[in-house]
């Protein structure tokens, strides 16, 4: 039960941090067309995920399971789910499943964009 609360609290923190990045970018560069805020959170979140995972794997950082859930699922998941996606791809590749890693990237990117577009088309046709 405590893990659920840890994930919820971490998710709130990560979501607020993401919103903060969005606000800073929108206030600083209101006419910018490139999705800088999304780019920043995806790259930064993935980097933090990698650093923490590396520290844990090398036994230089010890996190109890509920703290791992708080940080990785909650904070980083609320900040960007792209970090989890990137972590899954790297884990597959490092485990000898490079083909699965490539398929995962292609399927998720292509199908997520297609899914969003299909949802948009469906919603616009029903209005």
pLDDT per position in the chain (127 positions), as tens? 889 999 999 999 999 999 999 999 999 988 887 889 989 999 999 999 999 999 999 999 999 999 999 999 999 999 997 888 998 999 999 999 999 999 999 999 999 999 889 989 888 887 6
Q: What is the pTM of this model?
A: 0.80
**Closest among 11, 91, 33 to 57, alpha carbons compared:** 91
Hey, how many other C-beta atoms are within 10 angstroms of the C-beta on 70?
Answer: 24
Dihedrals phi, psi of 80, to nearest 5 degrees: -165, 125
């Amino acid at each position: 039960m405590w893990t659920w609360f840890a994930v919820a609290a971490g998710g709130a923190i990560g979501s607020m941090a993401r919103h903060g990045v969005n606000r800073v970018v929108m206030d600083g560069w209101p006419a910018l067309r490139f999705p800088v805020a999304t780019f920043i959170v995806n790259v930064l979140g993935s980097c933090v995920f990698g650093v923490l995972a590396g520290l844990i794997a090398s036994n230089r950082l010890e996190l109890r399971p509920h703290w791992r859930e708080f940080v990785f699922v909650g904070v980083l998941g609320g900040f960007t789910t792209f970090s989890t996606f990137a972590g899954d791809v790297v884990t597959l590749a490092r485990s000898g499943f490079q083909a699965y890693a490539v398929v995962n990237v292609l399927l998720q990117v292509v199908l997520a964009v297609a899914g969003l577009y299909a949802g948009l088309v469906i919603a616009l046709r029903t209005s």
